[in-house]
Chain A
């Protein structure tokens, strides 16, 4: 199977600590995401989407499965970065330094799971709730 996933040249990413906070907004359609009080309804919907499209590779605690555990992700990453990573993972792991470093760490290209923009926002809400 022709996959460019593993053939991307990863430059030195050792300087980036993926465990700490980054201000990067990532690369993609989301440049300005407003977050305020938690929308419980969105968070509930987000959990449903997460269970079907994300849970095969991500836990919501700190355990790594295929990808990193997502506990604390909304503290480490900007809302834009999270939403761009969900909707634009291939370009993110090629160009965004943090996403590049994560690929070098986990070695499996995060896949676009055909998540709509609304669903992406709902997943963000679910992850915010998870970090409360």
Chain B
């Protein structure tokens, strides 16, 4: 996220030069704002479990991290868009396909907005969606296994930022492009023809209610501006989706100046039920494009890629009544919908007020055609006609708002580095508290639900400075936990995060716990190279390809002696973990492997490709300490010259190859 804020305005406790605070809220020294019982409130005794799961994006790490709250303990880093040699994600033969795109194999992305799937507007704990910004994609993580199961590329998009917000029952997750780009026909155009040639695309991705599988139902072709964030309507506003837009100047260079010329940008209200009607009437246009759709199948423990060749587009220049603009103070970031679905809170990060729009007033204005103008064929509703009111003097740089269970809203203020609490119905500010430092998004537990859980707010900070022991130029990024049960917000805890904790969603632990999978059932493993017992282990040569069917169980790999591999061979170790016990993964590493190790869960099969570069004896072993005899869990692969006649043999114990000499 780039803010056109001079860096010197940031509130930094360590700044030696006197900083002029442009806000009434001067951060105090942290020590003075910690209340006495904070330690008790975050202490989770050994052997006890946390109350809440927090899923935070890793930002530029490309992954998602799961934390427990209130302790702030990191539970797991879930690999999504970035290769992870620690467990073979994106390296193993089974998972490589997950990172295929129309641009080739992409081992990284910028992950911003986790989104827990919803049923009736409440977090249901089935899946977690996360957007890939740079090479536009949406990933779906299965929260029973904490594994990424699906990655869908989004065509006609540049910077998949207003994504992957989901509708009230996860009918859709959306993917709105941050950067408008030329879409149809000749896309090789001068950049300064932005106004004529660049369009935005808002993708509505249908989610299969049973399996979670995604597919792009339609793309709305919309005016060429920047689409920043989105949030779904719910309750009263079910059937609508709200996007924030900036750069209504349609600038294509030096946006920090050129996209700050007007005093207002827009909220775009999308009536997706109307879009569905047009689709039913056959008004969708099949538009050729190319994008990848990667699925990981839990039965075969393998991913495959499918290349899709077209999308259905609906052009808002031609089709009326799908989208409307509401003017909104400058450069809005969050467009957040209150629990009842009636209020749409837009946080203009360069604005002095937080406007709150009324869904009812907006639909009345549409019915009465109370429009002030058109923008690229899209009606612009009069600001006052849709406005419920403004939160006055909230602070500087309002970014994003979430809601609690008591009728309050919490807005993050980037420039003044604070959280501001205000009453949704009266729009009065009732409390404010500093964050350390430069909060971006915030998260309230269930903060986008119809019935928020409340209790905690989490600040996701952009800058850490002096909050932790220093680690050279690069410091950990961090989150902060606040107690929001009382009238005053209280800071409870700072905790370090992975990558950039851009945004997070949190839900009560029970929502996730009820679906947890402890093992993969070996009997249901349909991997083509799975072996269900040691008797089936073997080695087979096909030309230069050698396949090893191997098993792992405490405390040996079978086979553990392999001979007859020749220089120039490509060896595939297919390892099945025969354990059927919770928390007994086995690892596999072989000397000289150019990719990664494998970490194989109980009942799972994973494959590593190995291309030895010299002759000799190569040890392999289990990398995940599994028993007292873990150090005995090892083996040897013998590699002979390319023209060798050493027989291809493998075994364990009495079946291990013995005294095999070259027969020449």
Contact = CB atoms under 8 A, between A and B. Distances in A.
B532 A52 contact: yes
A114 B629 contact: no
Given A6-B628, A66-B555, A56 B533 contact: yes
A107 B578 contact: no
A6 B627 contact: yes
A108 B580 contact: no
Contact of B580 (A1, A107, A111): A111
A51 B626 contact: no
A108 B627 CA distance: 6
Contacts of A114: 519, 521-522, 580-581
A57 B580 CA distance: 13
Contacts of B558: 56
A2 B583 contact: yes
B534 A53 contact: no
B628 A108 contact: yes
Nearest to B583: A1
Interface in B637-660: 653
Nearest to A53: B580
Contacts of A51: 533, 535
Nearest to B556: A66
A108 B653 CA distance: 18
A64 B584 CA distance: 22
B539 interface: no
A112 B533 CA distance: 15
A111 B579 contact: yes
Contact of B583 (A3, A66, A107, A108): A3
Interface string B582-619: 01110000000000000000000000000000000000
Contacts of A2: 583
Interface in B531-571: 532-535, 551, 553-556, 558
B70 to A, nearest CB: 21
B533 A108 contact: no
Interface string A1-12: 111011000000
The contact size tier of chain A is 20 to 34
B624 A112 contact: no
A109 B533 CA distance: 19
Nearest to A59: B653
A55 interface: yes
Given A2-B583, A56-B533, A112-B581, A66 B628 contact: no
B625 A56 contact: no
Contacts of B554: 57, 66, 108-109, 111
Contacts, number: 70
A58 B628 CA distance: 17
B585 A1 contact: yes
Contacts of B653: 65
A39 interface: no
A113 interface: yes
Contacts of B584: 1, 3, 111
A2 B556 CA distance: 20
Nearest to B586: A1
A6 B554 CA distance: 13
Given A6-B627, A107-B628, A108-B629, A56 B581 contact: no
Contacts of A55: 533-535
Nearest to A6: B628
Interface string A103-117: 000011101111000
B522 A66 contact: no
A3 B532 CA distance: 25
Contacts of A6: 627-628
A53 B603 CA distance: 11
Given A1-B624, A109-B627, A56 B585 contact: no
Contact of B625 (A1, A57, A113): A1
A65 B653 CA distance: 10
A8 to B, nearest CB: 12
Contacts of A57: 553-554
Contacts of A3: 583-584, 625-627
Contacts of A1: 583-585, 624-626
Contact of A56 (B521, B578, B627, B628): B578
5 contacts: A56-B534, A66-B555, A66-B556, A107-B629, A113-B578
Q: Which 4 A-B pairs have the closest CB atoms?
A: A114-B580, A107-B628, A56-B553, A111-B581
Interface of B: 519, 521-522, 532-535, 551, 553-556, 558, 578-581, 583-585, 624-629, 653
Given A53-B522, A111-B581, A114-B581, 9 more contacts: A1-B585, A52-B532, A55-B534, A56-B551, A56-B553, A56-B556, A57-B554, A66-B629, A109-B627
